Amino acid sequence: MTTTRSASSGHRVTWWQRLPLHAVVIAVVVLWSIPTLGLLVSSFREPSAIASSGWWQAFTHPDQLTLANYERVLGEQGMGRAFVNSLLITVPATVLVILVAAHAAYALAWMRFPARGLIFLVIVGLLVVPLETTLIPVLRLFSHTTIERELPLLGGNVFGTASYTGMWLAHAGYGLPFAVFLLRNFFVSLPRDLVEAAHLDGASDLQVFWRVILPLSLPAIAALAIFQFLWVWNDLLIALVLLGDPTLAPMTLKITNLVSSFGTSYQVLTAAAFLSMALPLVVFFAFQRFFVQGMLAGAVKG
């Protein structure tokens, strides 16, 4: 691209003049990848090898590679259960936020009513409220409203600090400002004629919402879903404060506990950390396009 542009302005740029450019970018890419690569390689090395030689020596000693770290972490360290817990927290929390936000965004985008602008402005303002500001009262609220009956199928109480429902609602609440902001702005940009035509044909709001708006908004919903998924999956603070029952702990919390109890036994930590990264990385590579869209939508969240 630059080559042709520069050519038109009179001086040709040859490949060796661009060598410094390639060198800088490739150096940054390598530097950025080494830490993650080191972790990945180490997670497959024998404990004695991790403790006595650098991860880069795995390339010259491939005989030291093993799957034992993963077996150990998944089995006796309970990381398998934590992986399932992470899913049990993340998936419903993501679906919930999309459903609730989409309904609100539809009203804010397509219905006329007093205070519409004000309500949206307040929601945009809430985007930056730090989670920290809300945690003490929410924890008090949870412990006062605990319902100590087991939730069918999932385990955990019906509500309170030892429940998934509490986590779903909390994550949905914290994710809503961004979700409403993103979806409302997308809905507004859809062609007005389409909605009006559907109404003229006698479609109700619910029909327009499900049959016209949602199908057209899949890119925005995908972007939102990926962001919410990553936020909830990667969250530590909310789980640390609001989840009192260690058997329900997600991976982030489990790993944090491993760090404090195991310190530097990297055979456990590296495998655990990589397990927690695996799903986000798959999501990231599969939906990169939507991920970027979500970022561009102004990824500001509390």
Residues 226-255 that bind another protein (CB under 8 A): 230, 233-237, 240-241, 251-252, 255
Name which of 114 and 215 has its Cβ closer to another protein: 114
For every residue of 84-111, DSSP letters joined together read HHHHHHHHHHHHHHHHHHHHHHHHHHH-
Measured from the CB atom, the residue of 88 and 269 that comes closer to another protein is: 269
Subset of residues 45 to 74 that bind another protein, contact rule: CB under 8 A? 50-56
Q: Tokens 């599969």 correspond to what residue?
A: 286
CB under 8 A: which stretch of 67-75, 109-117, 154-162, 216-224 binds another protein? 109-117
The reply on whether position 174 binds another protein by CB under 8 A is: yes
Q: Does 95 bind another protein (CB under 8 A)?
A: no
Q: Which of 17, 36, 48, 143 binds another protein (CB under 8 A)?
A: 36
Gap between the terminal Cα atoms of the chain? 40
Long-range contacts of 105-114 (CB under 8 A, 24+ apart): 105/179, 105/180, 105/183, 105/184, 105/186, 105/187, 106/187, 106/205, 106/209, 106/213, 108/180, 108/184, 108/187, 109/184, 109/187, 109/188, 110/187, 110/195, 110/205, 110/208, 110/213, 111/205
Q: Shortest approach of another protein to residue 66 CB, angstroms?
A: 17
Among 66, 134, 146, 265, binds another protein (CB under 8 A): 134
DSSP 8-state class, residue 145? S
What does the alpha-carbon distance between residue 163 and residue 151 come to, in Å, rounded to a whole number? 8
> Does 27 engage in binding with another protein (CB under 8 A)?
no
The site for another protein, by CB under 8 A, has a size of: 110
State yes or no: residue 14 binds another protein (CB under 8 A): no
103 versus 154: smaller Cβ distance to another protein: 103
Non-local (6+) Cβ contacts of 170 within 8 A are 138, 238, 242
Q: If you compute the radius of gyration of the chain from its CA atoms, what whole number of angstroms results?
A: 24
Instruction: Please report how close the Cβ of residue 289 comes to another protein at its closest, in angstroms.
Output: 10
Which range, of 73-81, 149-157, 215-223, 265-273, touches another protein by CB under 8 A? Answer: 265-273
Is 132 a binding residue for another protein by CB under 8 A? The answer is yes
Residues 72-91 vs another protein: string with x where CB under 8 A? --------------------
Residues 6+ apart with CB under 8 A from 219: 186, 290, 293
Question: Which of 88, 104, 212, 223 forms a contact with another protein (CB under 8 A)?
Answer: 104
Span from 70-78, 87-95, 156-164, 258-266 in contact with another protein (CB under 8 A): 258-266
Min dist. Cβ of residue 267 to another protein (A): 11
The residues in 188-217 that bind another protein, with binding defined as CB under 8 A, are: 188, 196, 199, 204-205
In the bound state with another protein, the residue whose beta carbon lies nearer, of 156 and 177, is 177
Q: Is 2 in the site for another protein (CB under 8 A)?
A: yes
Number of residues written out for the chain: 302
Alpha carbon of 281 to those of 67, 95, 177, 230: distances in Å? 20, 20, 25, 10
The CA-atom distances, in angstroms, between 148 and each of 31, 80, 156, 173 are 50, 25, 9, 22
